[in-house]
Amino acid sequence: MKGLAKHISLLFSVFALAACGGTSVSTDSTSGSTDATSSQAAPKNKVSSESLYVKKVDNLPNDFIFGMDASSVPSLEKSGVKFYDFDGSEKDVFEILSHNGVNYIRVRVWNDPFDAEGHGYGGGNCDINVAKEIGLRATKAGMKLLVDFHYSDFWADPAKYQAPKAWANMSAEEKGEACYEYTKQSLQLLKDAKIDVGMVQVGNETNNGIAGETTWLNRWRIMDGGSRATREVFPDALVAVHFANPEKPQNYENWASKLAYYELDYDVFGTSYYPYWHGTLDNLSSILTKIAGEYGKKTMVLETSYANTNEDTDFYGNTIGESASGEYPFTLSGQANHMRNLTDTIVNRTNNSGIGVCYWEGTWISVGTNSWEENVEKWKEYGSGWTSEYSASYESEDAGYNGGSAVDNQCFFDKNGKVLESLKVFGMMAEGNVTELRADGVENPVATMYTYDSAFQLPSTVNLIYNDNSRKAVPVTWDAFDLEQARAAGNNTYYIKGVSDGFDVELTLHVLEYNFIQNYSFEDGIDPWHVTKRNADKIGDSYKNEITNENPKSGDFAYHFWASASNTAGFDMEQDVTIETAGTYKYSFCLMGGIASGTPDPEKQDIYGYVKVNDEIVKKVDAKFTGYSKTYENGTFLIEGLELDPSQKITVGIHLFANESGSWGDVDDFMLNIVL
Ligand code: CA
């Protein structure tokens, strides 16, 4: 409802294509050596493609980190999964990754992801021993290891950060020491195995806590333990912190300042960036640039991904589901273009602080394509799904059942383990790769029709998306749709299918009654409302009459009033309205509220909405407090049958006087609509 703007708007999302998923042409040169000895970041062999268009990323450093989280690989292989190169030959997946430009492998580490009987919780059962197995293979393939300590026995993220079982009864100080010892022993194990550890994360998506600790002092105790141990065992490795939700940049500023206040010793401020949820690249660039400048840290995207198909192949639903869509088509080119544009942002738009991007988890493919029944046995036995029933004793709220891969449509391998052409993007960004332009998908348009607008037509073109991510408007044919019927039916949303250049396309059409009230939801400050505040001379500790973000009906703001316990509240608010045609109108607004304690007495409230014509009230509606409700349930008040003419002076308003101590409430969403 916030978008009830004056102008008809056309916004776009992208339709995900089913086409173009299967046939990839490979011209991959097979000159890469398999006995990797170099830890240099540059790909060891020349990567090329006849079908994948990759725009060059300027200024890409040789040592830029192209990471791949591959934590599930050992459990997948135990479940029978094999990986195949472009020529169809079975090959070590780490060799395939390395040959296509990946130079870092990330692995999550849980302290003890097993129940009392030794059954794994799932998610690859990734303890330090699994990390060692992965690290040995990564090092052999010439890649460095990024160790991602969750400091938990299972998944840690913004919603959960449970302490390991062994730390459950410790004080925060004791946990900090235990973390130091645990990190030191774990890293020493990797060092003794001659694994090339390049970076260590002290916590995973630690927005709200770590190891069961939520205060910043106690969080610092854990992170500091991890950092000190890393400096001791791998003095050349980078220490990284990791947060999620860059779309709320004020949180990142706050967290970075807390780390600085406690003087945490770290090098890299890392973030997750899932484009479906985490805001724009402009926003990402802006917040990372700011943190790099203020705190002198390197920055990095520690997790990202993009779907190359809507299809689910393991009978366990994906985070990006079958009806989802995004900014790029869900194709191999869409996946590659996401990686290319994200990399370009980190390389060229972070004030030289960006050191890498890491994908999550491009190898977590299906354990089988026959049936859920077959797969569930493997997820349970080998921990190759994201959770198993054995985790219930530790994590019963979210996990604790047998689930599979939720990202098998975001991998760089198909359901049978064969590498996808899109993986080559990592090895081709430095120089770029120009191929023939080919239509790859089409944008799904979003349009708004106001019911009074009899001239509205469905859009005649949509944007075709090419494999280089360029876009061009092309004609579209929509299925039959009765605009007049939709106009008569009033507020609603319709999904209209069509065809454009051979691609299926879907229009989201919002039908809205036009609202003649300006700034109806207080999203743009107070103008052009005129407010007279009761006790205006005493506004402050005892009274409030102001726009706040506490209880918005729509958008982010509402007009809030409050009086302290021994005082009463009140104000008058109105605005003059311009209409264009004579006709029958209706006026409404939303109100909720109450008193400091107990049930408000309706007799002590003098509240009404009104419409004035030429400064005389022509109609009123009585209103009363309706208690607290986020949705303003029972809190909409309506005047109908207003005969208005553009030649008149028209004013809408509300009078509110609550003569009972401790009155409070909010008003929002004032509407004046023409009745067709
Ligand atoms: Ca799945």
Ligand 1 centroid – CA 311 distance (Å):
8
Average pLDDT score, the chain? 91
Q: What percent of the chain has pLDDT over 70?
A: 93
- The pLDDT confidence band at residue 14, using thresholds 50, 70 and 90, is very low
Centre of ligand 1 from the C-alpha of residue 289, in Å = 35
pLDDT(11) > 50: no
Asked whether 333 and 302 are in contact (CB, 8 A), the reply is no
Q: Encoding tokens for residue 598?
A: 């107990």
Among the residue ranges 478-482, 569-573, 617-621, the one predicted with the least confidence is 569-573
CB 568 within 8 A of CB 644: no
What the block records as the tokens of 39 is 């830890």
Q: What is the mean pLDDT of residues 446-458?
A: 90
Local structure of 396: helix, strand or coil: coil
**What's the CA-to-centroid distance between 228 and ligand 1, angstroms?**
39
Query: Could you give phi then psi for residue 464, rounded to 5 degrees?
Result: -80, 140
- Compute the distance from residue 523 Cα to the ligand 1 centre, in Å: 40
- pLDDT band for position 12 (50/70/90)? very low
How remote is the CA of residue 122 from the centroid of ligand 1, in Å? 15
For residue 453, what pLDDT is reported?
84
Quote the ligand 1 centre to 86 CA distance (angstroms): 23
Residue 446 near residue 360, CB atoms below 8 Å? no
Given pLDDT bands bounded at 50, 70 and 90, which one contains residue 611?
very high
Please tell me the distance from the alpha carbon of residue 545 to that of residue 529, in angstroms, as a whole number.
13
pLDDT (average), residues 175-187:
98
Indicate the pLDDT class of residue 660, thresholds 50, 70 and 90: confident
Higher pLDDT, 486 or 323: 486
Cβ pair 449, 459 in contact under 8 A:
no
Active site residue 327: no
Distance 497 CA to ligand 1 centre (A): 27
Q: What is the pLDDT of residue 675?
A: 86
Q: How far is the CA of 422 from the centre of ligand 1 (A)?
A: 19
More confident residue, 513 or 373: 373
HEC-encoded secondary structure of 614-640: CCEEEEEEEECCCECCCCCCCCEEEEE
DSSP string, 518-545: TTTTSTT-STT-EEEETTGGGBTTTEEE
Confidence band (pLDDT; 50, 70, 90) for 534? confident
- In the predicted structure, residue 600 carries a pLDDT above the cut 70: yes
What pLDDT is stored for residue 35 in this prediction? Answer: 38
Mean pLDDT of 30-37: 38
**C-alpha 364 – ligand 1 centre gap (Å):** 9
- Measure 667 CA to ligand 1 centroid, in angstroms: 45
205 in catalytic set: yes
Note the pLDDT of residue 38.
41
Banded model confidence at residue 567, pLDDT cuts 50, 70, 90: confident
What's the pLDDT tens digit per position in 282-324?
Answer: 999 999 999 999 999 999 999 999 999 999 999 999 999 998 8
Strands 650-658 and 605-613 turn out to be: antiparallel
pLDDT tens digit sequence for 635-657? 999 999 999 999 999 999 999 99
Read off the pLDDT band of 30 (50, 70, 90): very low
In this prediction, residue 3 carries a pLDDT of 32
Distance CA 421, CA 241 (A): 32
CA torsion through residues 278, 283, 285, 289, sign: negative
pLDDT in tens, 73-117: 999 999 999 999 999 999 999 999 999 999 999 999 999 999 999
Q: What's the 578 CA to ligand 1 centre distance in angstroms?
A: 54
- Inform me whether the pLDDT recorded for 121 exceeds 90: yes
Q: Tokens representing 103?
A: 């130079």
List, for residues 576-587, the tens digit of each pLDDT value: 999 988 999 999
Mean pLDDT along residues 367-379 = 97
In the structure, ligand 1 is a single-atom ion and the residues with CB under 5 Å from it are 312, 314, 316, 318, 405, 408
- Rounded Cα distance between 145 and 200, Å, is 8
pLDDT tens column, 216-275: 999 999 999 999 999 999 999 999 999 999 999 999 999 999 999 999 999 999 999 999
The Cα–Cα gap between 498 and 479 comes to 5
Q: What is the pLDDT of residue 596?
A: 84
Query: pLDDT at residue 32 above 70?
Result: no
**Which of 205, 327, 389, 574 does the annotation list as catalytic?**
205
Residue 367 alpha carbon to ligand 1 centre in Å: 10
How far, in Å, from the CA of 312 to the mean position of ligand 1?
5
Q: Which of 95, 213, 303, 395 is catalytic?
A: 303
Residue 198 has pLDDT above 50, yes or no: yes
Question: Burial letters for 6-15: b for 16+ Cβ neighbours within 10 Å, e otherwise?
Answer: eeeeeeeebb
Q: pLDDT, tens digit, for every residue of 326-356?
A: 899 999 999 999 999 999 999 999 999 999 9
Ligand 1 centroid from CA 165, angstroms: 29
Distance from the alpha carbon of residue 4 to the mean position of ligand 1, in angstroms:
37
Q: What tokens does 44 get?
A: 């060891």
The pLDDT of residue 31: 38
pLDDT at 44: 56
Question: Cα of 51 to ligand 1 centre, how many Å?
Answer: 27
Position 397 confidence tier, pLDDT thresholds 50, 70, 90 = confident
Q: Ligand 1: distance of its center to the CA of 410 in Å?
A: 10
- Across the range 656-676, mean pLDDT stands at 91
Amino acid at 651: T
Q: Residue 240 C-alpha to ligand 1 middle, in angstroms?
A: 30
Could you give the dihedral angle defined by the CA atoms of residues 175, 177, 180 and 185, in that order, rounded to the nearest 10 degrees?
-100
Give pLDDT, residue 620: 97
Give 27's pLDDT tier (boundaries 50, 70, 90): very low
As a 3-state breakdown, the chain gives helix, strand, coil percent values, each rounded to 5, of: 25, 30, 50
